[in-house]
Amino acid sequence: MFIRNCWYVAAWDHEIPADGLFHRTLIGEPLLLYRQADGRIVALEDRCCHRQAPLSAGRREGDCVRCGYHGLLFDGQGRCTEIPGLERVPPHVRVRAYPVVVKNRWVFVWMGDAERADPALLPDNFSNDHPDWINLPGYLHYDTPYLLICDNLLDFSHLSYVHEKTLGGSIKIAQARAQIDKLPQGIRVTRQVPDVPPPAYYRRMREFTTNLDRWFIYDFLLPGTLLMHSGGRPTGSASGTEPALDPTQPSADSVNLHSCQTLTPETEHSTHYFFQQSCRADQGDAAMAQTLFDSLLVAFNEDRDMITAQARNLAAKPGVPMVPLAMDAALIQFRRLVDERIAAERPA
Amino acid sequence: MFIRNCWYVAAWDHEIPADGLFHRTLIGEPLLLYRQADGRIVALEDRCCHRQAPLSAGRREGDCVRCGYHGLLFDGQGRCTEIPGLERVPPHVRVRAYPVVVKNRWVFVWMGDAERADPALLPDNFSNDHPDWINLPGYLHYDTPYLLICDNLLDFSHLSYVHEKTLGGSIKIAQARAQIDKLPQGIRVTRQVPDVPPPAYYRRMREFTTNLDRWFIYDFLLPGTLLMHSGGRPTGSASGTEPALDPTQPSADSVNLHSCQTLTPETEHSTHYFFQQSCRADQGDAAMAQTLFDSLLVAFNEDRDMITAQARNLAAKPGVPMVPLAMDAALIQFRRLVDERIAAERPA
Amino acid sequence: MFIRNCWYVAAWDHEIPADGLFHRTLIGEPLLLYRQADGRIVALEDRCCHRQAPLSAGRREGDCVRCGYHGLLFDGQGRCTEIPGLERVPPHVRVRAYPVVVKNRWVFVWMGDAERADPALLPDNFSNDHPDWINLPGYLHYDTPYLLICDNLLDFSHLSYVHEKTLGGSIKIAQARAQIDKLPQGIRVTRQVPDVPPPAYYRRMREFTTNLDRWFIYDFLLPGTLLMHSGGRPTGSASGTEPALDPTQPSADSVNLHSCQTLTPETEHSTHYFFQQSCRADQGDAAMAQTLFDSLLVAFNEDRDMITAQARNLAAKPGVPMVPLAMDAALIQFRRLVDERIAAERPA
């Protein structure tokens, strides 16, 4: 069961070729994505209504796609406009078309009722494509349910253990109490970690001579998007009240990052993970973007190894209860939000 | 669910060695096939009745087979004739034996009631083994249900799309209306396609200077056998009424082919595909047979790719309905025949 | 369903490192095994009670293990002694600890009620670690249910067929009637086979000039342990009544072996097989131990091939009945013992 009435990221913008057909499965449904002549991206159900062959095994013809099995032709709205050997196409011959919006290099697809597709619900993934920020786009495939990865992102105490040698570097991260605030579409998590050594991936960016005060401030929004300011400054150097929250005012000796990450279920048991971590353009260059990307990839593979091992245990004995702890507050709240949304979408 | 009271092709004749044991699974049942000293082929259930080890993991002893696990010996009728350590073999110790007929290089096995096995029901697969025709035998394994491949063979409109660059070459094949006639054991499909360019695989056979009038005339018989005359002649050169139907009267400038193909379910989700396409011996030689075989194999892999992709879509969401179109008439009729036969075999 | 209140072998002693964490699944439950500073082996459920990550993906800290996901620390009794960010650990935060005994190089774990763990129930696997006997330790993994391997070991008539060219060498083994006696925890099987050629693996040990009288005398004990005296002496050379039973009195021209083998279910469909076959230290050396090990491994792979093929047949059609024969007496009795024990453990 998945939330349907929401925007899921289906791809990075650059994954959809100018010509050609792109397949990806979202929440169990096969999608065909392609660009029309004007560059706009179309999302159709990747299953011909005739014999259910994937349309992505067919070919582009102008702004249409022709099924490669028996030649039915569909336009970008999913209407069949030609059936070989038939004079007239019955109007019920069509495939589902999904609303698509591209925003800051993410291709969002609305998997629910098309008339409810509201661009105002798109997350503010500004740093994916902003002159003040630089990054490289990332993608990982998980063979686990997507909520396990949400859990991971909603409790950064794991940074002290899973990422001890990469993103973490101090048990103080796990010891810090996170502040949790409700948002209309999710949860805000604020974690301040004073006076810790700079983590390994900061040290790959530049030299440090002092401990840092670190911060992680993120919104985690339905269906599974993390938008995070994080960073660190020399311990005790903060002058005002949380200036770190203002990414437009970094100091020369601070690290200021912004990250956009999103989880899209592929099936009940597998997940697409799109991510980036940006540094400020006035603090880095292409080499720095690459360094950040490489560090993140190592760390995100640490997560994937752990979550995949966890998923194996869960799958081997589905009924075993978990013991909730204080650190689970955010993930418990988020799972409740997901459950409520799925229940609300269920027909009465 | 499969039809049981019918002949299924289990193997090409040459696949069953003079000595040794050959295993193949048909409609979910493991079969052991081997030759007796007189060359006759025996088919036994490949499952010792004692502890269910496959007999094919044992060894031949004369016209018998000895189980390789605990040494029970079975004759070609499936009777156990020796149990190590026992004086007398109880008569209920036996494995199932299946009627076998070899006809024109195909090894047919009757999977239903042995007393109903009727050689008159064997298809007329003459061109498999006929002095006037030459071919090479083919085999493909499919990881899909067998009815999806029957569907494919019952609607040649797919030649225009799946085989655009191999067997097809013109959208006129899809546009031509096929004539469908009932047969006692299946369906006859006749498709005439006038004035089309010779397809790529004809052009690998020889040079053409004109368009062709092509024909495909085939019987598709239960459980899943295609017997087809096909060919082409220079457009407008036909003198009488469908002389193409008479394979004994080819002209020097026509292409005359006969094909025998058959589908045998391995399991609910996998299929054996035995096939050949013959050309007339007075129009070809061993090199021509190889050319035809190579072309066919390329094309049949195009089918397999498409049908496997279709099967993935079907398996991912089993309940999705298909939209029937005019081109599906033959396959709908054939599926109805299969359903009727299965229902008729069900115990009251 | 498995018997729980019994000792299962989890590993050879040497498999558990001095440092580090060792994972193995027993009867469907993931286990973590590690050594404390005093060398004693601890067995914990390999599933953190918090979010079910495997503890084996964490790290040792003194005699404790720290979960690698969120840092919970557990001692060798499974008690959580530290939760990052919490002052006090609630007492219900713990993982299951299992009684462990190491006896003669086998690491036994009690999978049932800890208070019922009784070392008196450990089998007498003396030859694993005895100055008079030499061997090499063996391990095989099976992708089959463990009872199929018990069946195999409870009916040595298969030696004549599965192991014709290795351990067997004569159909007289299958023809000999085994004597079967009840034991408190299993079954004793005695099989005398007079006047047979020495089997291939004896001939790899040394030269023989006569036929042998062979014997196989073993206890097969719950849950699945074989303890066997076997051997052979020149035909007719026995002076008293079954002196072969006394392994302390071998003659110069006899072969005297002792074997300890045990089957531990991994899951319902897979099994761990720990085995050795010892020869007397006064009749062999390290080279002889290697020769015996190599012979046994070849033979045990013959078993595994056959049993895996049998398991495929069983899985393909679960309802097919087996035909019981006289040779199945021991395995039928043993399966009944297993069923009774499982039934007795079921809550009323």
- pLDDT tens per residue across span C186-210: 999 999 999 999 999 999 988 999 9
Total number of domains constituting chain C: 2
Lowest-confidence pick of A137-141, A198-202, A269-273: A198-202
Which of C45, C69, C92 should one mutate to test binding to chain A, selecting the residue with the greatest count of A CBs within 10 A?
A: C69
C204-248 tens-digit pLDDT: 988 999 999 999 999 999 999 999 999 999 998 865 555 444 544
Residue B243: per-residue pLDDT:
47
Residue B249: per-residue pLDDT:
62
Alpha carbon of C20 to those of A348, B177, C51, C57: distances in Å? Answer: 54, 72, 22, 10
**Cα distance between residue C206 and residue C232, in whole Å:** 13
B2 located within any domain? no
Q: Note whether A45 and A153 are same-domain residues.
A: no
Average pLDDT over residues C80-106: 97
B109 located within any domain? yes
B231-248 tens-digit pLDDT: 999 998 865 555 445 555
A125-151 tens-digit pLDDT: 999 999 999 999 999 999 999 999 999
pTM for the full predicted model: 0.94
Q: Note whether C45 and C130 are same-domain residues.
A: no
Cα nearest neighbour of B305 on chain A: A57
Interface TM-score (ipTM) > 0.85: yes
**Cα distance between residue B192 and residue B293, in whole Å:** 24
User: Looking at the DSSP assignment, which residues form a beta bridge with residue B267?
Assistant: B270
Average pLDDT over residues A8-32: 97
Quick one: pLDDT band at residue A243, thresholds 50, 70, 90? very low
Please tell me the number of Cα atoms within 13 Å of B348 on its side-chain side: 0
B74-110 tens-digit pLDDT: 999 999 999 999 999 999 999 999 999 999 999 999 9
Evaluate if residue B284 carries a pLDDT over 90. Answer: no
Residue C158: per-residue pLDDT:
97
C348 located within any domain? no
User: Three-state DSSP class for C235?
Assistant: coil
**Cα distance between residue C217 and residue C220, in whole Å:** 10
Flag whether residue B162 sits within 8 Å of chain A, measured between CB atoms.
yes
Residue C168: per-residue pLDDT:
93
**Cα distance between residue A338 and residue B92, in whole Å:** 60
Q: Which of C121, C154, C189 is the last residue of a domain?
A: C121
Would you put residue B149 in left (φ > 0), alpha (ψ -120 to 50) or beta? alpha
Flag whether residue A126 sits within 8 Å of chain B, measured between CB atoms.
no
Q: Note whether B64 and B150 are same-domain residues.
A: no
Q: Note whether C11 and C147 are same-domain residues.
A: no
Evaluate if residue B211 carries a pLDDT over 80. Answer: yes
% of chain C surpassing 90 pLDDT:
92
A53 closest CB neighbour out of B176, B309, B323: B309
A11 located within any domain? yes
**Cα distance between residue C121 and residue C125, in whole Å:** 12
C334: distance to nearest CA of chain B, Å? 16
- Does C174 sit within 8 Å of B70, measured CB to CB? yes
Evaluate if residue A232 carries a pLDDT over 70. Answer: yes
**Cα distance between residue B30 and residue B32, in whole Å:** 7
Flag whether residue B53 sits within 8 Å of chain C, measured between CB atoms.
yes
Q: Note whether B98 and B247 are same-domain residues.
A: no
C6-32 tens-digit pLDDT: 999 999 999 999 999 999 999 999 999
Residue written as tokens 């495929």? C312
% of chain B surpassing 90 pLDDT:
92
A309: distance to nearest CA of chain C, Å? 6
Which of B327, B331, B335 should one mutate to test binding to chain A, selecting the residue with the greatest count of A CBs within 10 A?
A: B327
Quick one: pLDDT band at residue C122, thresholds 50, 70, 90? very high
User: Three-state DSSP class for A169?
Assistant: coil
Average pLDDT over residues B21-26: 98
- Does B327 sit within 8 Å of A93, measured CB to CB? no
- Does A69 sit within 8 Å of B162, measured CB to CB? yes
**Residue C74 corresponds to which amino acid?**
F
Distance of CA B201 to the CA centre of its chain: 22
A84: distance to nearest CA of chain B, Å? 5
- Does C47 sit within 8 Å of A174, measured CB to CB? no
Average pLDDT over residues B56-65: 98
Cα nearest neighbour of B152 on chain A: A69
- Does A84 sit within 8 Å of B157, measured CB to CB? yes
Q: Note whether A189 and A86 are same-domain residues.
A: no
A60 located within any domain? yes
Count contacts between A and C (CB, < 8 Å).
75
Flag whether residue A315 sits within 8 Å of chain C, measured between CB atoms.
no
Q: Note whether A48 and A171 are same-domain residues.
A: no
C1 located within any domain? no
Average pLDDT over residues C114-125: 97
Q: List, in order, residues 6 or more apart from B88 with CB less than 8 Å away.
A: none
A223: distance to nearest CA of chain C, Å? 21
B209 touches B197 (CB < 8 A): no
Q: Note whether B147 and B103 are same-domain residues.
A: no
**Cα distance between residue C73 and residue C34, in whole Å:** 14
- Does A325 sit within 8 Å of C47, measured CB to CB? no
Evaluate if residue B130 carries a pLDDT over 70. Answer: yes
* Six-digit token string for A223: 């269906």
Domain of C31: which CATH number? 2.102.10.10
Quick one: pLDDT band at residue A246, thresholds 50, 70, 90? low
Q: Which of C121, C136, C168 is the last residue of a domain?
A: C121
Domain of A277: which CATH number? 3.90.380.10
Quick one: pLDDT band at residue C98, thresholds 50, 70, 90? very high
Q: Which chains touch A (3 or more CB pairs under 8 A)?
A: B, C
Average pLDDT over residues A156-181: 95
C142 located within any domain? yes
Lowest-confidence pick of A238-247, B171-180, C313-322: A238-247
C64: distance to nearest CA of chain A, Å? 16
Q: Note whether A176 and A135 are same-domain residues.
A: yes
Evaluate if residue A348 carries a pLDDT over 60. Answer: yes
Q: Note whether C47 and C111 are same-domain residues.
A: yes
- Does A70 sit within 8 Å of B309, measured CB to CB? no
A30: distance to nearest CA of chain B, Å? 8
% of chain A surpassing 70 pLDDT:
96
A154 touches A332 (CB < 8 A): no
What is the pLDDT of chain C when averaged over all its residues? 95
Quick one: pLDDT band at residue C126, thresholds 50, 70, 90? very high
Flag whether residue B46 sits within 8 Å of chain C, measured between CB atoms.
yes
Quick one: pLDDT band at residue A239, thresholds 50, 70, 90? low
A69-88 tens-digit pLDDT: 999 999 999 999 999 999 99
Alpha helices in C85-220 (DSSP H): 146-154, 172-175, 200-203
Average pLDDT over residues A199-218: 94
Cα nearest neighbour of C57 on chain A: A306
Residue C243: per-residue pLDDT:
47
Cα nearest neighbour of B331 on chain A: A51
Q: Which of A89, A121, A153 is the last residue of a domain?
A: A121
| CA nearest to A45, candidates A96, A11, A79, A81 | A96
Which of A52, A56, A73 should one mutate to test binding to chain B, selecting the residue with the greatest count of B CBs within 10 A?
A: A52
Classify each residue of C204-229 as buried b or exposed e, where b means 16 or more C-beta atoms within 10 Å of its C-beta.
ebeebeebbbbbbbbbbbbbbbbbbb
Cα nearest neighbour of A91 on chain B: B323
Average pLDDT over residues B252-268: 95
Q: Note whether A94 and A154 are same-domain residues.
A: no
Biggest CA pair distance of chain B: 78
- Does C320 sit within 8 Å of B57, measured CB to CB? no
- Does B322 sit within 8 Å of A52, measured CB to CB? yes
Cα nearest neighbour of C90 on chain A: A325
| Structural domain boundaries, residue A237 | 126-343
- Does A47 sit within 8 Å of B313, measured CB to CB? yes
Residues of chain B neighbouring A66 (CB-CB closer than 8 A): 161
Q: Which residue spans within chain B are E strands per DSSP?
A: 7-12, 22-26, 29-35, 41-45, 59-61, 64-66, 73-74, 80-82, 97-98, 100-103, 106-110, 133-134, 138-142, 179-183, 186-196, 212-221, 225-234, 255-267, 270-280
Flag whether residue A158 sits within 8 Å of chain C, measured between CB atoms.
yes
Q: Which residue has the higher pLDDT, B206 or A47?
A: A47
Q: Note whether C112 and C141 are same-domain residues.
A: no
- Does A68 sit within 8 Å of B161, measured CB to CB? yes
C233 touches C253 (CB < 8 A): yes
Residues of chain C neighbouring B52 (CB-CB closer than 8 A): 310, 313-314, 320, 322
Quick one: pLDDT band at residue A249, thresholds 50, 70, 90? low
- Number of residues assigned to chain C: 348
B15 located within any domain? yes
What is the pLDDT of chain B when averaged over all its residues? 95
